[in-house]
Structure 1
Amino acid sequence: MDHLESYQALYQRACERKGGPARLEAMLGEPLSPEALAQLGDDRILAEFTRKVFQSGFVWRVVDDKWSGFEAVFFDFDIEKVLLMSDEMLEKKAQDPRIIRNFNKVKTVRDNALMMADVARQHGSFARFLADWPASDIIGLWAYLKKHGSRLGGNTGAYALRMLGKDTFIISQDVEAYFRARNVVSGGINSKRNHQAIQQAFNQLQQQSGRSMQALSRIIAFSQGDNFMQPEAVESPASQVN
Structure 2
Amino acid sequence: MTIETYAHLEQRAIKRKGSRAMLESLLSKPLTAAEIKAIPDDRWLAEFTKKVFQSGFVWRVVRNKWPDFEDVFFGFAIEKILMMPDEMLEQKATNPAIIRNLNKVRTIRDNAYMISDIQDSHGSFGNFVASWDPLDITGLWEFLKKNGKRLGGNTGPYALRYLGVDTFLLSKDVEDYFTQHGIITGSARSKRSLKAIQDAFIEWQRQSGRSFTELSQIVALSCGDNYMGLQR
Q: 1 CA distance for matches of 2:134 and 2:197? A: 13
Judge which range, 171-180 or 182-191, deviates more: 182-191
Q: Deviations over 1:132-163 (max 9, x none)?
A: 11221000000000000000000000000000
Matches within 5 A, 1:1-242: 3-231=2-230
Q: Deviations over 1:165-187 (max 9, x none)?
A: 00000011110011001211111
Judge which range, 72-81 or 125-134, deviates more: 125-134
Deviation at 1:230, TM superposition (A): 4.4
Please give the TM-score of this superposition, normalised by the length of structure 2.
0.97
Deviation at 1:227, TM superposition (A): 2.5
RMSD: 1.0
Q: 2 CA distance for matches of 1:190 and 1:219? A: 21
Q: 2 CA distance for matches of 1:82 and 1:175? A: 36
Corresponding residue pairs, total:
231
Deviation at 1:61, TM superposition (A): 0.3
Q: Could you list the runs of 5+ residues in structure 1 that have no partner in the other structure?
A: 233-242
1:117 is aligned with what amino acid? S
The residue matched to 1:177 in structure 2 has which SS? helix
1:51 is aligned with what amino acid? K
Q: 1 CA distance for matches of 2:221 and 2:6? A: 13
Q: Deviations over 1:26-53 (max 9, x none)?
A: 1111000010110010001100000000
Runs of 4+ in 1 over 3 A off after TM superposition: none
The residue matched to 1:28 in structure 2 has which SS? coil
Q: 1 CA distance for matches of 2:146 and 2:229? A: 44
Judge which range, 99-108 or 127-136, deviates more: 127-136
The residue matched to 1:76 in structure 2 has which SS? helix
Deviation at 1:229, TM superposition (A): 2.7
Identity of aligned residues (%): 58
